[in-house]
Homo-oligomer: A and B are copies of this chain.
Amino acid sequence: MVLPGGAHSGVSQLRRGILQFCVLALLRDGEKYAFELVRELCDAHDLATSEGTIYPLLSRLRKEGWVSTAWQESETGPPRRYYTLTASGRTALSDFAREWGTFKSTVDKLLDQ
């Protein structure tokens, strides 16, 4: 999938450390598989992402114990690995939401004044 913005544009750097929590947020409402997550992140403009980003990211989330996975057959293609938010993943998400809030206001204060 070809994306606008280039490899290491400014926006790309912004995603660092945030993208994983956006994925966790998308998983709050139920299990999803990787391809589906890529599409949803592309729909949410400014978060357009490729598979090369998502798969390693999901692998890290699994290692952290923030998601659990289960294979399911698909009627329209190859089998899918579905990701589900765990309890500790939910905690990590709400912890990050707090951090994000304070960080955001710090940056806003600097930029806006």
Interface residues of chain A, those whose CB is within 8 Å of chain B, are 10-14, 16-18, 21-22, 25-26, 44-47, 93, 96-97, 99-100, 102-104, 106-112
Most interface-central of A17, A47, A104 (chain B CB within 10 A): A17
Name A's interface SS: helix
| Docked complex Cα distance between A107 and B26 (Å) | 11
Contacts of A25 in B (CB 8 A): 110-111
Task: List, sorted by A's number, 16 A–B pairs whose CB atoms are closer than 8 Å.
Answer: A10-B99, A13-B17, A13-B18, A14-B16, A14-B99, A14-B100, A14-B103, A22-B111, A44-B109, A46-B106, A96-B111, A97-B111, A97-B112, A100-B107, A100-B111, A104-B104
